[in-house]
Structure 1
């Protein structure tokens, strides 16, 4: 089945997958520096371009294949195949973007995404209709699913790495080759079996499209991907401005303007070698939080808890939650460890504000005081440390 493919369309399918990967990964690289609604829009855009790139690559590959004469595409399975692709890509990217991207979280997302991509492929394949039946080699089916899962894992890692420059280009090309490899691995194990005279899998009742119509649809999607690719090359003005501030020397004849609270949202800068051999960093007295009119600052004494929210955090002051531009790890590094404790991979609490602790399942729950008390989960691995910090080490029950 692999013989007879149009080499130019095969190359185009790899290029389309690579461009879709580049656009999606480039949008992912901007997520970390973009707050609020724009963050979610970038995440949705990254998922959309990756999904469209994968799906379009699949059908460009189908156009490259030597299909039997009079082959048509059933519209419903074709649409369902795209919806499957968009759904699993969106869910997988969202799942790895919330909280800490642990190996278990990324691996489970990769399995979901890989199986989803394989499902998209085979649903699309069985959207083919004509005087033939389609058969698959089971070994190649399993191999194609394995390739899809490995490809998904690599793609999610590239998404989380938020790469730029040459590394982004290399990752995108590798992603395009891997996605295409899954498709052509599956095609290698597929063959058509002619039906008897008068037999036809498309016997009416289902809307079908010719290869010419599919070519038009694919051409439009190729244009969309190319446009997204070109737009992703447009420099981010906010990032350029931040870079200029960091690298441009300050003229000695011009005094720098003092930074106001609303003019910038400070981010902690990592110390060389992780701070090895340097004096411990003093805890920050305030945390930046975003408001409708700019960046505000909240005293750490008023902070009850910090909760991870994708690449950012939500700071609770006992009354409400507000978005902080720091990640959960950055917040943990900046807060006073004698007052704050990370009780869960997604939660930090202020120990002096703990009003209640109780066991719940394998873990525990803390209630923080304030005008609007709220509860925070404690992971099983952190229960002993929480009890020690609360002076409960000699008690049997938390």
Structure 2
């Protein structure tokens, strides 16, 4: 399969696919583990790095192949091959990012992505121009498509699994080898047939030489390597893990103080009823059973049993009901005071979670993340100082003293 190929460029093509897969799927995975990040920006970055990695791997492999010396590249098919790759990668990641990804949706997305990778390859191949024609072994063509779909399925599973570190690296290696295997399988079944004597092909449109393509590929290799290295730079909360306990004991060591914090107030309880307005030495208000949220029709009241998490948003909060976030007119501190402390706990300066809906807990950096169940599972961060309390509330630590 590699007969006549430049071994150094073959190795580079595999490395590019691995780096692109690691960076792309690593960025995509943060959509589910970084609740404050912009999911559209992350999805765009993930699709871009995956598409660049797959496309660059393909053309590094083309430069490594023993193609005819007079071959050149038609610009339009070459550009279309990249756009096609970027489009199907973006669509596939989007479909598995919305809602709860079923096995059927993952399989359909993998089929779309695999066919897109194969189409990118063959469109790019037929962008070669010269005094020759290209023939394919259709058995190898079908096998290459099967490998592309399998690689796409494995890659999407990498994205959906909460993997990081060594496991993500091993998965990216498997993905890069699979994508490269698809390319070289297809190349093994491809044959250049010289044009008949005295017959010359006429090509319309822009044509790029192999040397110009080499410069473009080298630039994209640099982009992938730079993105990979930047992705490895630890986040602020990871760097704080190296500080001493006396420097990181506070909940707010990694973030500034909450400017929107206000003492609890109970404005919906008229003083004429003789109910306390809160304060030191006064009894606490009974927990509410419903919470107001704002909609286009007006203000709705949702049952507290439907609430998964509450996130601070300026002077208001966003309540996640298992499907989407809705705006609540309460501040984060007011919500904390009104809700039943047996069911809800504040795990971060900006987040409250419903303990009965916690389905997953994982240490991350110097803090942790919690996943809440529902039709659309989502995650929230847990500050370092709250980890022990949360574990105790969930029954994960025996005899742990809960912070009041």
Q: Which residue is equivalent to 1:314?
A: 325
**Structure 1 unaligned residues grouped into runs of 5+:** 264-281, 319-324, 336-343, 348-398
Question: What's the secondary structure of 2:63's corresponding residue?
Answer: helix
Q: Which residue is equivalent to 1:381?
A: none
Q: Which residue is equivalent to 2:82?
A: 82
Structure 1 residue 3: Cα displacement: 1.5
Structure 1 residue 139: Cα displacement: 0.7
**Structure 2 unaligned residues grouped into runs of 5+:** 262-303, 330-346, 359-373, 378-404
Rounded Cα–Cα distance in structure 1 between residues aligned with 2:307 and 2:53: 46
Q: Deviations over 1:124-180 (max 9, x none)?
A: 000001111100011111100000000000001111224211111111111110100
Label 1:176 to 1:199 Cα distance change in 2 as closer, same or farther (>3 A). Answer: same
Where in structure 2 are the equivalents of 1:30-45 lying within 5 Å?
30-35=30-35, 38-45=38-45
Rounded Cα–Cα distance in structure 1 between residues aligned with 2:126 and 2:120: 10
Instruction: Please say if residues 20 and 50 of structure 1, whose CA atoms lie closer than 8 Å, have aligned partners that are also in contact.
Output: yes
Where in structure 2 are the equivalents of 1:31-110 lying within 5 Å?
31-35=31-35, 38-110=38-110
Rounded Cα–Cα distance in structure 2 between residues aligned with 1:87 and 1:29: 19
Q: Which residue is equivalent to 1:219?
A: 218
Q: Deviations over 1:194-228 (max 9, x none)?
A: 11123334x13221111100100000000000100
**Greater Cα shift, 24-33 or 48-57:** 24-33
Instruction: Please say if residues 308 and 354 of structure 2, whose CA atoms lie closer than 8 Å, have aligned partners that are also in contact.
Output: no
TM-score using structure 1 length: 0.67
Instruction: Please say if residues 71 and 130 of structure 2, whose CA atoms lie closer than 8 Å, have aligned partners that are also in contact.
Output: yes
**Greater Cα shift, 90-99 or 282-291:** 282-291
Rounded Cα–Cα distance in structure 2 between residues aligned with 1:45 and 1:83: 15
Rounded Cα–Cα distance in structure 1 between residues aligned with 2:122 and 2:252: 61
Where in structure 2 are the equivalents of 1:1-398 lying within 5 Å?
2-35=2-35, 38-201=38-201, 203-238=202-237, 240-241=239-240, 287-291=309-313, 293=314, 296-297=316-317, 306=321, 308=323, 313-315=324-326, 333-334=356-357, 345-346=375-376
Q: Which residue is equivalent to 1:277?
A: none
Q: Deviations over 1:340-398 (max 9, x none)?
A: xxxx9459xxxxxxxxxxxxxxxxxxxxxxxxxxxxxxxxxxxxxxxxxxxxxxxxxxx
**Greater Cα shift, 94-103 or 53-62:** 94-103
Q: Deviations over 1:300-328 (max 9, x none)?
A: xxx7x8363xxxx323669xxxxxx99xx
Instruction: Please say if residues 317 and 327 of structure 2, whose CA atoms lie closer than 8 Å, have aligned partners that are also in contact.
Output: no
Rounded Cα–Cα distance in structure 2 between residues aligned with 1:152 and 1:136: 23
Instruction: Please say if residues 287 and 297 of structure 1, whose CA atoms lie closer than 8 Å, have aligned partners that are also in contact.
Output: no
Rounded Cα–Cα distance in structure 1 between residues aligned with 2:115 and 2:307: 48
Structure 1 residue 80: Cα displacement: 0.3
Label 1:29 to 1:240 Cα distance change in 2 as closer, same or farther (>3 A). Answer: farther
Question: What's the secondary structure of 2:69's corresponding residue?
Answer: coil
Instruction: Please say if residues 283 and 334 of structure 1, whose CA atoms lie closer than 8 Å, have aligned partners that are also in contact.
Output: no
Aligned length: 299
Instruction: Please say if residues 25 and 162 of structure 1, whose CA atoms lie closer than 8 Å, have aligned partners that are also in contact.
Output: no
Q: Which residue is equivalent to 1:353?
A: none
TM-score using structure 2 length: 0.66
Question: What's the secondary structure of 1:32's corresponding residue?
Answer: helix
Rounded Cα–Cα distance in structure 1 between residues aligned with 2:354 and 2:126: 50
Rounded Cα–Cα distance in structure 2 between residues aligned with 1:4 and 1:18: 23
Rounded Cα–Cα distance in structure 2 between residues aligned with 1:83 and 1:257: 44
Question: What's the secondary structure of 2:221's corresponding residue?
Answer: helix
Question: What's the secondary structure of 1:21's corresponding residue?
Answer: helix
Instruction: Please provide the CA RMSD for this pair.
Output: 3.6
